[in-house]
Each structure stands twice: as structure tokens, then as C-alpha cells.
Amino acid sequence: MRIAAAVFLLAGIVAAQERVDLSVVNRIKAEEFEHSKVMEHIEYLTDVYGPRLTASPEFKQAADWALKQLESYGLTNGHLEKWGPFGRSWTLQQYAVELLEPRYSLMNAAPLAWSRNTNGPIAGDVTLAPLAARSFDPAQAEKDLESYIAKYKGKLRGKIVMISSEARPTAGSENQPLIKRYTDVDLAGIAKAPEPVFHIPYTPGEPLKIPEDPMQRLEYMGGLPESVREQMREQTKDVADKRSQFFNDEGVLALLQNDTRAHDGLVFAEAAGSYEPAKAQAPPTFVITKEHYDRLLHLVRLKQPIRVQVSLHAEQSADAKDAYNIVAEIPGSSKPDEVVMLGAHFDSWNSGTGATDNGAGSAVMMEVVRLLKTLDLKMDRTVRIAMWSGEEQGLLGSRAYVKEHFGDPKTMKITSQHAKLSGYFNLDNGSGKIRGVYLQGNDSIRPLFESWLEPFRDLGVSTITIRNTGGTDHLSFDAVGLPGFQFIQDPLDYMTVTHHSNMDVSDHVLAGDLMQASAIIASVVYDAATRPEMLPRKPLPKPQPAAPAQASPKAATL
């Protein structure tokens, strides 16, 4: 709906040719390609300080390091900006999952964040009680849980419970190469505007139609009204809380699960249940690599007794801790009250060190401001870097920041600073180099990006698409009508190997790709901060009061 409106209103406006200072582009490229510090950034963020779970002490240590770096580059007004309360802090100290019977084996596993501790090793008999496959539709997830409880109530006490059935390969995944760069054909597809979609009117009670494919799902979610997304987040949390409560009431010892992508030693580990102290904490929960989990399934099928020993110790707070965004500035010379923002989320999941998600984006954005300061480029507007926390729990840090500084998407009550933010540029799709940009439905910005990105065409940047992309922090800005953009990046092994996995470590970050991205974003930010006008905007969104609590929202837009 929003896309169609923007096209219609802006069709008559012809943008003037955007001026790009090629000598600045040249200096940025030379500095980045000869003296890059981006890999130093990534190694500190991952190998030294990672992982960086929101509200953990190691997040704070990494943030303190980043802030000191930014200050050493000459940025000012650097601070950790508190938001919250968020939830428990959770720092892993020790864990193990060991098969005891029929024979000893150390299993390749990782605990899910915010699991309860075991208080020492505990051994138990293993039973299979598989949950329904994860539904992204919270209403369906709730129905599935109700039938699960009806089936297993009273049968799981004192057991270690396997909650996944056989791993289902992701559709088509077995034929995909592990590492992929976009071909010209792929990019031509992305460049095409999506076919117009008839928007079925909102009808409470009907199910969402969420695509299985992860990239399609991102795009679909990006097109949903914020109120619908918020309601989905709340409903999903409620279902997870009910599930934890059920397992606690049953008295299970621990939960074991599998993941559709977790083979060859990979495990993908996010959260178990809630991080809020007031909610039921999930039992000790471990995800096990496919081959090791499948051995357990085979033993179940052969009706062999299985005993497993688990241990988990994480330092965790009893109360909710505040979380922080990391903010610093390069003051503008002639229009210091007008601001261009750039950012990336700084928090990560726990089983790797948060390298491609999103140490890479953070390392690049730190490099961008280093370039701008090192070259002492004069910019009219203030350039502000923000590195967010709580992104992995629902863009919490950036949403809190936008609400505090610019406006509330629910009421569309906006602040005086709303008029002063020119735009926001985000990087959070792994280590892959930049291939173009998503215009997020904003036609009027196309000529700007065409001019800004032209000097980087020979570095593989060719694609400007009207499409939306979702799943990360530019949405928080877009939700209040501020220009917010995420770049198109080569997928590499992000969705096949690293995203939220134990192999999200610095070896999977490609130096050349991060250097390319750093030079491009530095140039784009410089252009945005020096052009005479602020960035053109889409019409302001309408206020989005929360959807009715009991209604199952239906996706009306794509």
C-alpha cells in the first residue's frame, strides 16, 4: 500500500543531477584499500570480545572498546545510550551434552541463550516428544502447543526430552552451493519491482500467509504494518512462555533439539524461552548437530534405552538489566543540527562470536567513520554512528532509540528532531560485499543512489531496487517515515553456514568484501552529509495503533 502511494505522489518530480565529488571517492578508496582497519575491528569484536549477547557483560566490554576506538578516531559525543530494562544477562561458563548409554560419546551441541542452569551434571533417560514444526504464524503455533500439551501431559517427568523429530532439510537446500555470490541474472531479478499485489482487506481471525523461503519471508515481513509485526512478536513470546511453563510443570530435566540447517558439526542456537525475569525460564535446552541428533532418533526407533548427561552453567542475573546502544558523532560544519545516521546492530547470538551477524556490519560502520575522520572530510551535516543492541530480540535497541529521538510509530507523534534527520544507512546481511541498495519503496531517492553508487560500478555495485527488505534496524526508521536503507549484499555462506550458528566466527568474514562495503558507505554518507538538501522522504505513515489483542492479524500487504 505504502509503495503504491509513494509512486503515485512523486511521479511528477524530476530530480536534478546529483553532484558527486570524484576526488573524494578517490581518496576514500585509496585510504580504505591501502590502510584498512576493518579486519582489526572484526577481530576485536569477535575473537577478543565475542559473543555479544544483549545485556551481557561481554557486550558491555565490546561496547567500551568500540567507544574508545571511535574516540581515538576523533569522534565526539561518544556515549553508551541506555534503554531498557531489557532482561536477564546471560554469560556462558560451561556446558556439555554427553551420551552415556548405549555407549559414551561427546555430542556436538550448544545451549540456547537464557536457558536455566542444571546446577552440575544431571543424567536422565531420553524420550522423544517432538513439537510441531515451527510456525511463523503465532496463532497456529498456539494451536500446535495446545495439542502437544494434551498429548504429553504427565508423561515427561524426570526425562531428558527430544523435542525435534527428524530434521527436515530446508526446501531445495541440498542442491545449493554453500557459498554464493549474486550473478547478474540474480541481480536483474532483484532490480525488478515486485508485481503489484492485490491487498486483501484486513480480516481479523484469518491466518497470516508467511513464506517458507527466508529471503521471501524477510521481504514479506518488511511489508507488514508495524502494528501487525508487534502483535506477532507478542503472541510468539506468549506461546514460548506457555511452552516453558508446561515443561517446568512437567519436571523435565532438559530439552534436546535439532535444526533444519544444522549438519556437519553446525549448530544454530538462538534463545530458549523468555529473557524476562517475570516469565517462566526455559529448562536447560541444547541444540545438537544433525548427525548426532539422528543417532538418538535411530536408537529411539530401535527401542534402545538411551541415557544422556547434560550440564549447563551460565552466569545469569535474577533481575532485568538495562541494555545500551553505542552512539558517537562527527559534528557538521555548517548545518550541525541536521544529521545523517549510519549503523548496524552490535549484539549477537551466543554459540559463535557474532562475526557475520553482525560484527561485520559494526566493523564496517566503525571503519566508515574512521575514513571520514582520517581524511578530514568537511561535511555540512553531523554524521552520527549508532550500533544497536537487542536487534536479535526484535530490533529493540533501534526501536527504543527512534521512539526516544524521532517519534512513536503507534501514534505518529513526532519530535522536533524528526525534521532534522536526513537519513539512516544500515548494514546487516553478513560479510558479503555491497551489490546495490533497497530503496524501501522510495522512488524519489533513486537518482541520488544512481549517482552515488556509479563510481563503484566496477566494484560490483549495479543494482538499485524499489523493493523493501526487512529483518533489521532500518525498519525502525522507516516505521516513522524517515528514510532508512539496507544495502543489497552478496549472500556468501550467511544463510547456509554462519547466520546464528556456532561457525559465525571471524574466519567466515571476507576482508575484501568488508573493505569494499566500507569505501562505498563512507562515500554515500559523505554525499548525504554534503548535498544541499536533506534526503527526499516518502509520505508520513499513518498512526498504527496496536492491532486488537485477540485478533489473528492477516498480512494485507506485500
Which CB atom, from 218 or from 524, has the smaller least distance to Zn ion?
A: 218
| Cβ nearer to Zn ion, comparing 31 with 428 | 428
| Residue number with CB closer to Zn ion (259 or 391) | 391
362 alpha-carbon distance from chain centroid = 12
- φ and ψ at 292, to 5 degrees? -75, -35
CB closer to Zn ion out of 332 and 343: 343
Q: Which residues pair with 492 in a beta bridge?
A: 180
Contact between 342 and 368 (Cβ < 8 Å): yes
Q: Which is nearer to Zn ion, 31 or 473 (CB)?
A: 473
Residues 6+ apart with CB under 8 A from 427: 344, 358, 360, 361, 364, 365, 486, 487, 489, 517, 521
Distance CA 284, CA 295 (A): 21
Other CB atoms within a 10 A radius of the CB of residue 249 amount to 14
Q: Round to whole Å and give the CA distance between 496 and 179.
A: 8
> How many other C-beta atoms can be found within 10 angstroms of the C-beta atom of residue 143?
14
CB-nearer residue toward Zn ion: 281 or 358 = 358
Q: From the CB of 357, what's the least distance to Zn ion, in Å?
A: 4
CB 50 within 8 A of CB 58: yes
- Cβ neighbours around 446 below 10 Å, total: 17
Q: CB of 345: closest distance to Zn ion in angstroms?
A: 5
Strand, coil or helix: 287: strand
Cα–Cα distance, 156 to 135 (Å, whole number): 23
Which are the contacts of 189, defined by CB distance < 8 A and separation ≥ 6?
none
Cα-Cα end-to-end distance for the chain: 8
Cβ distance to Zn ion smaller for residue 316 or 358: 358
Nearest residue (CB) to Zn ion, 116 versus 345: 345
In whole angstroms, how close is the CB of 265 to Zn ion at the nearest point? 22
Provide, rounded to whole angstroms, the least separation between the CB of residue 135 and Zn ion: 22
Shortest distance in whole angstroms from residue 214 CB to Zn ion? 13
Q: Which of residues 329-388 bind Zn ion (CB under 5 A)?
A: 357-358
Q: Could you give the CA distance from residue 556 to residue 558 in angstroms, rounded to a whole number? A: 7
Q: Helices marked H in 486-544 — which ranges?
A: 511-530
Q: Compute the distance between CA of residue 475 and CA of residue 220 in angstroms, rounded to an integer.
A: 13
- Please report how close the Cβ of residue 430 comes to Zn ion at its closest, in angstroms: 8
What residues between 405 and 444 interact with Zn ion by CB under 5 A?
A: 428
Q: How far is the CB of 173 from Zn ion (least distance, A)?
A: 20
473 binds Zn ion (CB under 5 A): no
Residue with cell 530446508: 170
Instruction: Indicate the Cα dihedral angle 283, 288, 290, 291, nearest 10°.
Output: -130
Q: Which residue has the cell 552512539?
A: 327
We find the least distance from the C-beta atom of residue 402 to Zn ion, in angstroms, to be 17
Please report how close the Cβ of residue 275 comes to Zn ion at its closest, in angstroms.
Answer: 17
Question: Which CB, 250 or 428, lies closer to Zn ion?
Answer: 428
- Tell me how far, at minimum, the Cβ of 519 lies from Zn ion, in Å: 22
User: Closest CB to Zn ion among 329 and 392?
Assistant: 392
Task: Give the integer Cα–Cα distance in Å for 161 and 24.
Answer: 60
Name the residue nearer to Zn ion (CB basis): 219 or 357. 357
Least distance in angstroms from the C-beta of 354 to Zn ion: 9
Rg (CA), the chain: 24
CB 344 within 8 A of CB 358: yes
Stretch 268-287: interaction string toward Zn ion, x if CB under 5 A: --------------------
Task: Give the total of residues touching Zn ion (CB under 5 A).
Answer: 3
**Residues at the interface with Zn ion (CB under 5 A):** 357-358, 428
